[in-house]
A and B are shown apart, each in its own frame.
Chain A
Amino acid sequence: MPIYNLKVNGQSHAVEADQDTPLLWVLRDHLNMVGTKFGCGIGQCGACTIHLDGSATRSCLLQVSMVDDMEITTIEGLSEDGGHPVQQAWKEVDVPQCGYCQAGQIMTAASFLSQNNTPDTSEIRDAMSGNICRCAAYNRIEKAVAVAATKMK
Chain B
Amino acid sequence: MKNPLSPSLSRRSFIKTSALAGGGMLIGFNLFQACKPEVTPPVDITQLNFNDFNAFIKIADNGMVTIFSPNPEIGQGVKTAMPMLIAEELDVSWDNVLVVQGALDTKNYTRQVAGGSQSIRHGWEPLRQTGATAKQMLINAAAAQWGVKASECTAKNGVISNSSGATLGYGDVVTAAAGLEVPENVTLKDPKDFTIIGKDIPNVDLDKIITGKSLYGLDYKADGMVYASVLRPPSFGKKLIDCDETSVKKITGVLDVIKFGDKVAVLAKDTWTAMKGKKDLKVTWEVDSKLENTEDHDQILTSLLEGSEFKTMRKDGNVKEAFAQADQVIERTYESPFLPHNCMEPMNFFADVTDEKVRLVGPIQTPAGTAERVARLLERDVEDVSVEMTRMGGGFGRRLYGDFALEAAEISKLAKKPVKVVYSREDDMTAGIYRPAIKYRISASIKDNKITGYHLKEASVNSNMYGLIPNFFPAGAIENYQVDVANYKSNITTGAWRAPYTNFLSFAEQSFFDELSEILEIDRIKLRLDLLQKVKGTTDEKIEYSPERLEKVIQLAVDKSGWGNAKEGVYQGFSAYYCHNTHVAEVAEVVLENDLPIVKKVTCVVDCGIVVNPLGAKNQIEGGVIDGIGHAMYGDFAFKDGEPQYKNFNTYKLIRMNETPLVETHFVESNASPTGLGEPTLPPAGAAVANAIKAAKGIRLYKQPFIKNMKSKDLLG
Interface residues of A (CB under 8 A from B): 1, 17-18, 20-22, 25, 28-30, 32-42, 44-45, 47, 74-76, 81-82, 87, 90-91, 94, 96-103, 106, 125-126, 128-142
Contacts and interface: CB of A to CB of B under 8 A. Distances in A.
Q: Which one of A125, A131, A136 has the greatest number of beta carbons of chain B within 10 Å?
A: A136
Interface in B390-406: 391-396
B221 interface: yes
Interface residues of B, number: 65
25 contacts: A18-B253, A25-B271, A29-B227, A34-B214, A37-B216, A37-B393, A41-B424, A91-B206, A96-B203, A98-B73, A98-B394, A99-B393, A130-B656, A132-B344, A132-B649, A132-B654, A134-B344, A134-B654, A135-B623, A136-B625, A136-B655, A136-B660, A137-B623, A138-B656, A139-B660
Given A22-B272, A99-B393, A135-B344, A76 B211 contact: yes
A94 B203 contact: yes
A153 B623 CA distance: 30
Contacts of B656: 129-132, 138
A137 B221 contact: no
Interface string B261-304: 00000000011110010000000000000000000000000000
Interface in B593-626: 615-616, 619-620, 622-626
B206 A106 contact: no
Interface string B332-354: 00000000001111100000000
Nearest to A97: B75
B509 interface: no
Contacts of A142: 657, 660
Given A34-B214, A45-B649, A100 B206 contact: no
Contacts of A35: 211-213
B393 A81 contact: no
Nearest to A101: B344
Contact of A44 (B216, B395, B648): B648
Contact of B657 (A81, A90, A91, A128): A128
A107 B99 CA distance: 27
A90 B271 CA distance: 30
Query: 8 closest pairs, A vs B, by CB?
Result: A35-B212, A100-B393, A98-B75, A75-B212, A136-B626, A44-B649, A34-B219, A99-B209
Q: Which one of B212, B615, B663 has the greatest number of beta carbons of chain A within 10 Å?
A: B212
B654 to A, nearest CB: 5
Contact of A99 (B205, B252, B616, B622): B205
Contacts of B615: 94
A102 B660 CA distance: 17
A139 B394 CA distance: 18
A32 B270 CA distance: 11
Contacts of A97: 75-77, 619-620, 623
Contacts of A29: 227, 270-272
Nearest to A100: B393
Q: Which one of B73, B271, B395, B657 has the greatest number of beta carbons of chain A within 10 Å?
A: B657
Nearest to B613: A94
Contact of A42 (B77, B344, B649): B649
Contacts, number: 187
Nearest to A80: B211
A133 B660 CA distance: 11
B447 interface: no
Contacts of A75: 210-212
A38 B218 CA distance: 9
A25 B648 contact: no
Interface in B648-678: 648-650, 654-658, 660, 662-663
A100 B210 contact: no
Given A32-B221, A87-B210, 4 more contacts: A38-B218, A96-B209, A134-B343, A140-B619
A18 B623 contact: no
A94 B619 contact: yes
A133 to B, nearest CB: 7
B237 to A, nearest CB: 27
B215 interface: yes
Nearest to B621: A139
Contact of A100 (B76, B77, B221, B345): B345
B126 interface: no
A98 B210 contact: no
Q: Which one of A81, A96, A98, A134 has the greatest number of beta carbons of chain B within 10 Å?
A: A98
A39 B212 contact: no
A93 to B, nearest CB: 9
B428 to A, nearest CB: 9
A42 B648 contact: yes
B425 interface: yes
Contacts of A44: 648-650
A130 B128 CA distance: 43
B497 to A, nearest CB: 13
A18 B425 contact: no
Interface in B53-97: 73-77
Contacts of A30: 270
Contacts of B619: 94, 97, 137, 140
A9 B620 CA distance: 34
Given A29-B270, A42-B650, A142-B657, A98 B344 contact: yes
Given A40-B648, A136-B660, A100 B202 contact: no
A103 B626 CA distance: 21
A7 B648 CA distance: 31
Nearest to B80: A94
Contacts of A128: 657
B349 to A, nearest CB: 15
B623 A39 contact: no
B630 interface: yes
B344 A133 contact: yes
B344 A91 contact: no
A11 B544 CA distance: 60
B666 to A, nearest CB: 15
B392 A98 contact: yes
Contacts of B76: 97
B448 interface: no
Contacts of A82: 207, 210-211
B627 interface: yes
Q: Which one of B210, B395, B625, B660 has the greatest number of beta carbons of chain A within 10 Å?
A: B210
Contacts of B203: 94, 96, 99
A81 to B, nearest CB: 7
B405 to A, nearest CB: 19
A26 B394 CA distance: 24
Interface string B415-457: 0000000001100000000000000000000000000000000
Interface in B217-240: 218-219, 221, 227
Nearest to B209: A99
B204 to A, nearest CB: 11
A144 to B, nearest CB: 10
